[in-house]
Structure 1
């Protein structure tokens, strides 16, 4: 609710987060208070891998998400991972999209080679690919692939996901000082100027407001390049999706009986 009061209109949830019901309650409360209309909000949820075994199970998973949230439709619905039978699961998303239950459909954590194969195969191409994108994992190849297929990039962990120390970086601090902004604001602005939708997450009101105040300045081409130079590439924890152990761990997560 604090985010909506601040001016945020995009809310990101997922079946595996276990908070689709809370998001639905917040939406209804915001509407009842006159803060916004349903049409002004953009609610995203995601299908978990447990429900991606086949098309019928995926269709039931979509219905379960809608029921839990109490919403008539999602503005965007994603396959959470490129795991299980995601092609069959996608057919369920295509059907729900054509029925109007999902206003847009997309994917998450689809790396360039996976996304290319997917887009060349499916009937309805994904409209969004939500992936990890921040200065230490800039993924220029992924952005190029998304642009080729007209897929909108969206960043989870746009501030580094707690695995890096951007707030101790001298370069980022100097750029922030030059604009009288915080490092968080600079990083978010960097992604915005790359054409990336960002999803900053915080429970602190001050940071919620700070992360929203990024529309009154722009980074120069030089500053953009300097920030991009921090990219570490496909190394370490950022490429956990390539790790069989991580995949097995995801497949073991059950969100219902």
Structure 2
């Protein structure tokens, strides 16, 4: 039941209809007995700054989850960031403090790796390939490096962005062989799609080299549809596929904690 005491939270995206976070987070609130509600906000990029400024002035607003395409642009709209958000160059969760200050964090990557772990997938020592170099991809790159992959090949339509991400990962994790270039799909133990390709009907595959095979894991960051074109192609060729939803489930607790959500007192 929503009352005058209920704390408000949101998720912002463009488009918004595909997001699964509201039901997941509201279920989490209920499990904690927490008097809060999270609702979706559909905001176009040119209106993002105005939207964020408005949130500073809403006294009962607790925090915001940020997704495509706003994760990179929102970094500079935060008053401060924690963790590795600055190195990653993106934010996916914001806490509003009582004085209206907005504190950002980037939890996509940690949630993604925890989702793999929940499916008994240990990435340590793996040769990995990451498709994409945007906000979520950057977070996943850092998290895979932190988790101990042997190598990380970053593939992106803009070669410059891939090279920049590889350089930043190598600076923070010198033991990981981080590089940009072609996917070399057949040689990888793990292939991760962290692009938005597959989100909309008719989207092309996020890579041309589809030499998937058994003994290989192909993972997705997209939640809906569950089986994206790359997952369908990989499954047809015998690879083990990993859906995007576990990433969200593992992120929920991390995001709620950052936004100051605590269990109700007995």
Q: TM-score range by the shorter chain?
A: 0.3 to 0.5
Question: TM-score, normalized by length of structure 1?
Answer: 0.33
| TM-score, with length taken from structure 2 | 0.32
Q: Which has the higher strand share?
A: 2
